[in-house]
Structure 1
Amino acid sequence: MQEKSKPMLKFRKILLRTVQVILAIILFAIGLLYVTGNSYIIRGVKLTYLKGHNTANIDDYKDFDNNVILSYKPQPWIEHDLYNKIELTDTLKAELERFQSIGFFVAKDGKALLERYWDDYSADSHTNSFSMSKSVITMLLGKAIEQGYIKSLDQPITDFLPEFKDDEFGKKCTIGDLSAMTSGYDWREDYYLPLNPTAKAYYGSNIEKQMLSRSFIQEPGGNFNYLSGDTQLLAIVLQRAIGISVSQYLQEEFWQPMGMEKDAYWSKDRKDGMEKAYCCLNSNVRDFAKLGQLLLQKGNWNGKQILDSAFVQKMVTPNYKAFEKGQPARYGYSIWTDYEHQPNFYGLMGHLGQRVIVIPSENLVIVRLGHQKDNRQMGKGFLDNDTYYFVDEVMKMLKTNQLLNQQQHAQEITRTENSIP
């Protein structure tokens, strides 16, 4: 018995020593993360990999502190005569299901035409808009300019961010540069690599300090370079200019005046901290669709001008000077655009395929929310592959049901001609 127990005892000692070494390495790594200011990685690992994800997910607002944006006197969508009577094309249905969509909504001529949900999600669900929030921040910027808190898009950011008054490039940056993504700010846009500023902004606990401690590395006003840091800086400008949080401002100037159907949640870095403005406005398909409808209606809502029409036009017009000759001009002021595709469209677009797509020629708004994005390169256009599926397949559905504007116009002409004696 003793002879047999010796190998077992030796094995246990080796195992114990191995576990001790592993624990020591883990503790050292954790300590190193704290010492180097990268402790946010611990939180990130806990909320992603340990939950079976490899990036942020649409439901993780529950893991963060949030500001609540209260609704007031909801104005539900008026339903179209054909509401939910139109079938999805097989191609669109396959696209939506393949990439784990949780909600799809179409509004035609200001009325709800189609609404679908998957996996127990509903109109009551709240999910993350991700970078669709960037468009919302610029809408708030337009309102702040209209109300005189900010002079114009050309105002220097140093009027509100004196932290950059000695920065060689930062002191030249305008508020418009932040919205148009032409700032020259030092940022790496990556939603998967743990050690980068985007991840730190998402999982860190002091986003304002992080933004203001970085610098500008290029001359502002140049080429388009998509940076979440730009939008977060813009939110800091807004907060300092108007004196309240961007959540409160959204509630007062848009959410309640537009009769949003549900409260919304804007995730923050910590309980007494700031909204993660470049992402993380959590709502539902119906209320996100209203944001698209507001842009479609050039800022007018039920006869009231919620947002200046000239500013809306500025948002949805490609910022041509930010793109080289031959490059597709795909971005305005925090709005993605494709005016080469037929039909033309623009939209709010976010990580993992969150979409609010506006097709002006058809008075059409399309919303898609879901877990994954279609990353395939299929040559449909210069924006993400899925946007073209949504646009083209919905257009087919409208055509089949004779709902396209040109079809309706032709029908009106025919009826008029037939009525002539």
Structure 2
Amino acid sequence: MKKTLKFLKKTISYFIIFWFIIFAILYLTGNKYFFRAVRLTYLQGNTTSNISDAKDFDVNTIKSSKPQDWELHPNYNKAKLSNEFVKELEKYKTAVFLVIKDGKILQEHYWRPYSEKSLTNSFSMAKSLVTLLAQKAIEDGYINSWEQPITDYLPEYKNDPNAQKCTIADLSKMTSGFNWKEDYYFPLNPTSKAYYGKNMDEVILNRKFIQALDTKWKYLSGNTQLLGYIISRATKKTLSEYLSEKFWKPLGMSQDATWTVDHTGGIEKAYCCVSSCARDFAKFGQLYLQKGNWNGKQLIDSTFLEKATHPNSLSPGVYGYGFWMDYTHKYPFYMMKGHLGQYVICLPKQNAIIVRLGESRTKELGEKNKFLTKDIYLYINEIEKY
């Protein structure tokens, strides 16, 4: 018995010492964000971030003004969702499934605890919004053009030879060669540090640009964060203020939204984290289908939208400027896409929009398109029933 107790004491002591050393190393190497990441994920029973986590961070408000309500389609919710389709939606903990047809809400379904007013995390759908803001900054004269060197606004990189070759367009198109690791699950990587840390400057502006070894196109959240820096520096406004001014208010959003920042008074996480409701996210899809025109006013250049929603020359046919797409499918589409299955899918030929928000998605890739997951095609194929 004494030997057992002695062994247990020694084991516990070694265990405590081991973790003390690990914690000390993380703290001393500038990775103290790790503790916050673990507390907000693993200790809550998750393995990654979640769609309701804005409450855990500092945020900026994206202000709305004079809400413009959606019209309901004459056939609103008349076509019943099949049991098989509902099972698939529930399997991946869908929060909302919304279909807009000819500018009116055709299908609208929510799963508890979510409702029409629920604000949930856009995740990387924000990348499309940041691209829109960059285009607006060009139209407003804050930025000269998409081909302007990033070093004009990011002097931190003026001595980086690879950064000197990078244009603002490269950031939106994901063709920059920025040194970044895209990982939403392992807590020790730059994506997690940017998400859970409190000093975005330290995470982003100390990284270098590298020559791509195998491809010139690579999807990286760091690109969009750099684009966010450029927009805020050029306009001298926060991204939240600029988004409110140029889109949130003109589109008549139903309520204020939030955008997560690294700390109070800091910069928005440009690559993610606009929390809004499905009906308001859907208005961006409608704006795209209307070629940037809203109530007779051109909010964004139609020629640019056409370019942004078609593949850029270096992507494998799936990415434009901040948008994903598949024009080989029987129902060609482009989309805003975010982690865990946040989607605003635009189908031009059907004049329709699908919004799906939720807590998870399948990891199975499409049969032909190996960059988009199967659930996306499930939602799109559902449209033929309406």
Contact persistence 1:128–1:281 (CA under 8 A)? yes
2:369 pairs with 1:369: no
Contact persistence 1:69–1:251 (CA under 8 A)? yes
CA distance in 1, matches of 2:283, 2:265: 29
CA distance in 1, matches of 2:217, 2:294: 31
Candidates 91, 95, 108, aligned match of 1:115: 108
Which amino acid letter does the alignment assign opposite residue 338 of structure 2? G
Aligned counterpart, 1:23: 16
Aligned counterpart, 2:380: 391
Output aligned runs, 1:347-366, within 5 Å: 347-366=335-354
Contact persistence 2:61–2:258 (CA under 8 A)? yes
| Secondary structure in 1 matching 2:204 | helix
Aligned counterpart, 1:411: none
Aligned counterpart, 1:167: 160
Aligned counterpart, 1:62: 55
| Secondary structure in 1 matching 2:99 | strand
Candidates 333, 338, 346, aligned match of 1:345: 333
Aligned counterpart, 1:416: none
Candidates 291, 303, 308, aligned match of 1:310: 303
Candidates 102, 124, 133, aligned match of 1:131: 124
CA distance in 1, matches of 2:369, 2:164: 37
| Secondary structure in 1 matching 2:71 | coil
**Which entry has the higher C-alpha Rg, 1 or 2?**
1
Which amino acid letter does the alignment assign opposite residue 86 of structure 1? A
Q: What per-residue deviation string (whole Å, max 9, x for no partner) do you get for residues 315-344 of structure 1?
A: 11211x204xxxx40010010011111111
Q: What per-residue deviation string (whole Å, max 9, x for no partner) do you get for residues 52-93 of structure 1?
A: 000111111111111111211111111111112121134432
Aligned pair count? 384
Which amino acid letter does the alignment assign opposite residue 348 of structure 1? M
Aligned counterpart, 1:266: 259
Q: Which runs of 5+ in 2 are unaligned?
A: none
CA distance in 2, matches of 1:274, 1:20: 42
Contact persistence 2:343–2:357 (CA under 8 A)? yes
Query: TM-score, normalised to structure 2's length?
Result: 0.96
Q: Tell me how large the CA RMSD over aligned residues is.
A: 1.6
Shift in Å at residue 377 of structure 1? 3.8
Aligned counterpart, 2:287: 294
Contact persistence 1:265–1:282 (CA under 8 A)? yes
2:85 pairs with 1:92: yes
Aligned counterpart, 2:66: 73
Shift in Å at residue 204 of structure 1? 0.9
CA distance in 1, matches of 2:205, 2:378: 40
Aligned counterpart, 1:417: none
**Bigger shift: 91-100 or 232-241?**
91-100
Aligned counterpart, 2:187: 194
CA distance in 1, matches of 2:348, 2:225: 29
CA distance in 1, matches of 2:130, 2:365: 30
| Structure that is richer in helix per residue | 1
Which amino acid letter does the alignment assign opposite residue 231 of structure 1? T
Q: Which runs of 5+ in 1 are unaligned?
A: 1-6, 399-421
Q: What per-residue deviation string (whole Å, max 9, x for no partner) do you get for residues 377-416 of structure 1?
A: 4516442111111111122x12xxxxxxxxxxxxxxxxxx
Residues 377, 156 of structure 1: alpha-carbon distance in 2 compared, 3 angstrom cutoff? closer
Percentage of pairs with the same residue: 51
Contact persistence 1:246–1:275 (CA under 8 A)? yes
